[in-house]
Every structure is written in structure tokens, then in C-alpha cells.
A and B are shown apart, each in its own frame.
Chain A
Amino acid sequence: MKPAPFDYVRPSSVAEACRILDEAGGGATVIAGGQTLMPLLNLRMSQPFILVDINGIAALKGVARVEGGIRVGPATRQADALRDETLARHLPAFTRALGHVGHHQTRNRGTIGGSIALGEPAAEMPATAVALGASIEIASVRGTRQVPADAFYVGPYMTVLEPDELVTGIVYPDWPQGHLVLFREVAQRPGDFALVGLVGALALEGGAISRAGIAWFGMGPTPVRARQAEAALLGAERARIDPHAIARAAVADTAPFDDHHASAEYRRTVGQRVFARALSETLDLRSAA
């Protein structure tokens, strides 16, 4: 047996889960799919006193249309979300990115909320939430609050979530029908963490970009919103867009690290190339690199 000993509870409601988290005074950890938490427990990098299993809370599962968007329950399995037709139809960038999360076997157990709450900087789901302008619903015994995804992440594996708080939903706003998906991921093998990745959505109106949401993953301590690229794209006529100039602007917002997989320089260089290529393909521009 590898993990340090812990107690295990399986609450059946959000209120009960919040009460347990509150009473644990920071000693509890929430488990949903456990696909990242279990390795951390096995390696004893995480040693909670109590594991709070939220799989028994029906209110935290499923995908639903809500006013102005789509709400994804945090305990929804990645495999179920990947098969979900509402998401595939209305938020194709979400579905596209989700296909790159882990492997078949881990998606069968891993959850959307787990990926969101963990905040792995190279993961697809946090960046997708930032790019699409999602908001994170949070509950605790102190009440509920909503945090925009791009204010949710503060560092690698660090979010604004307090120890007594639970993610209860991720709400993705509607995007115009027929909007375009921007997606690229460079990884050593399928299912591995991205060395460089980008995800986004672009809406066009009368031949010009009317809305843009783009974020990087693996390009900084948190998901990084490509604000300068978004600003440069907004209002631009499709045919006059220079993908290389936009890609340079996009990379300017990043702060990649050196690690044993790739240098920061490599990430910036490859990032700029794949960004330009993705943008050219998505907008059907000719000057693709």
C-alpha cells in the first residue's frame, strides 16, 4: 500500500461535502476521478487526513444548457463529456481539446472538474476554460461565488480555491453558431502533457473577426490568455490578417519555463510556428508557414 493512511468519506450532497471540508480545517482533499490525485497520494506528495469522494453527488454530474451557456458538472467523466453532443455542437473547441486529455483509460475515470481544479499548467481543460471565457462556480459553508477562469489560476497547481471550497460547476458562455476552432498541441506522444499547446475560438461577422478567445497551455505557470493576439484579431478582416504577426503577438504574452522536456526558447519558437499555422488553417489563409 503506497499512500499514507487517510479517512474516506463519500457525501451525497454539496452541503454535506462543504460541511466536511469546513470541519477538516484544511486537512481534507477532494477526490473525483483521482487520475492525478492518486499518483500524488501514491508518491506521498499529497497526504490528506480525509479524502472526500464527490462521485456520490448527483448534482455535480452531467452537462446542461443554461441561460447563455452550457454548464458542465465537475464530476462529469471526461469520456462522457467527450461523447456529449451538446458540447460537440456548441463548443467544438472544448471537445477538440478534451480528446487530447490523458488516455482512453484515464478519461474513463478522470473528470472535467478535476482537471479544472488541479490547474496543471500544461493541461488542456484549464486553458480551454480561459479561452472560452468560462466561469467557475464555487461553494463552501460560507456561501457560493463565481470566478472567471482567467482569474482562477494563480500559479502551477495553484488556484484561488480555498481549502474549504468545492468547485460545483463550470459554465461556458455561448459562442456564435458556426464559430471557428483554433487548436494545436505539440507533445512527445499522444496523451502526454503538452510541450506547447493553444486552444481558442474565433467568431466572424461580415468577413471580420467579431470575437476571439485564445489561451496557451504549457507556456507559463498558468494557462496564458493570448490577450495581444485577441486584441489584434478583433475587428480585423479575415483576408488581411497576417498570421505571423498575430503569432508573434500571441507568444509575447507567454512566460514558458525550461524543463527537462524542452527549453523556454524551444517552446516560444515552436509556439509561434504552430500558432501561425493553426490560425492560417482555421481562417483558411494562404501564407501558411
Chain B
Amino acid sequence: MSEHRIELTVNGNRHIARVEARTSLGEFLRDTLGYTGTHLACEHGVCGACTVMVDGDAMRSCLTLAVQADGAAVTTVEGLAQADGTLHPVQQALRDNFGLQCGFCTPGVAITMAAVTRDNEGADSGAMEEGLTQAMSGHICRCTGYQGIRRAIRQLAGVSA
């Protein structure tokens, strides 16, 4: 068993901590740093609830060790909205279209959507819709039947419903 000193930023805030090697990034964010917006569910990479951005890319925080995030810039769902509470466009689109019910999967969904909309910035509506829809294969939602999420995607892509 080994402990390691790590230094990283989460939503722009700098954190220095000691972590046991076997601690996942998701557990570390929740239990050590208190970013409980990130939800852990299956913990083997299937459900997508724990998705966070590491250096800008959407990844599973249950499949990344905290020690591997040393030096990284992490963004969690708490980092999406602006300081004044203005929602990120993906959060607004999910809200406008009832793209969530219980909300358990939503932090991961919103993180993936934020990363994919940023990567496809300037792309045409079709490419944006396709990119977002494909990326949603990495998330499981047990409430919405996905239709609300798909409506949110169409709103983000500027496709008329």
C-alpha cells in the first residue's frame, strides 16, 4: 500500500492532498474534496454517472486513479455554471427539455455534453447532433427514456424539434 502527494485543480481551485494509491479519482473528488456533484454508481465504467473532465476531456472518474490525476485540471459538474448561477448552455438545454428526472446520471451527462459541444464548436447542426448523440452511448439514464436528453441535444445543435 502506498500513499502519494498529489496536486491538482478542480474547477480552477488548487488542491494538495495525500491519497492512497487505490483511491479512484471519483472517490477522491467526493470524499476527500467534497465535490459530491460527481456521482459514483457502477464503478466499472459502464454507467457514465461519474464522468468528469480531466484536462478538458470527458472521462470516467471511477476508472482513473486519483494519483494519476496529479498535475491535472479537473472539471466537475459544479464547475459548469457561472459563479452568478447562470447555467451552462448544456444544463439549460437539459432543464428546458426535461432531460432529467431523478438527476443521478445528469452530472455525467452534462459533463460529456459540455466537452462534446466545445469540441464541435462551429460544426454544423448535423455534426453537432451526431457527435452528442454518439457520445451519449456512454451514459445510462433509467428515468427519461432518453427522449428528453435527445431533445436537449437537438436544442444545443440548433435542430428544430
User: Chain A: residues with CB nearer than 8 A to chain B?
Assistant: 1-8, 31, 34-35, 38-39, 41-43, 51, 53, 55, 79, 102-106, 108-109, 189-191
Contact = CB atoms under 8 A, between A and B. Distances in A.
Contact of A55 (B4, B23, B48, B68): B68
B78 interface: no
B20 interface: yes
Nearest to A190: B137
20 contacts: A1-B27, A4-B22, A5-B1, A5-B20, A7-B1, A8-B4, A8-B65, A31-B65, A38-B60, A42-B24, A42-B62, A55-B68, A103-B48, A103-B137, A104-B135, A105-B58, A105-B60, A106-B45, A109-B54, A190-B137
Contacts of B134: 104, 190
Nearest 8 pairs of A and B residues by beta carbon: A103-B138, A39-B44, A8-B21, A5-B1, A104-B135, A38-B63, A108-B57, A7-B2
A52 to B, nearest CB: 12
A53 B68 contact: yes
A105 B138 CA distance: 7
B43 interface: yes
Contacts of A189: 137
Contacts of A108: 57-59
B58 A7 contact: no
Given A35-B45, A189-B137, A6 B21 contact: yes
Contacts of A6: 1-2, 21-22
Contact of A35 (B24, B60, B116): B60
Contact of A41 (B1, B22, B27, B116): B22
Nearest to B57: A108
Interface string B87-111: 0000000000000000000000000
Given A34-B68, A35-B60, 9 more contacts: A35-B63, A42-B43, A79-B57, A104-B138, A105-B59, A106-B45, A108-B59, A109-B60, A191-B138
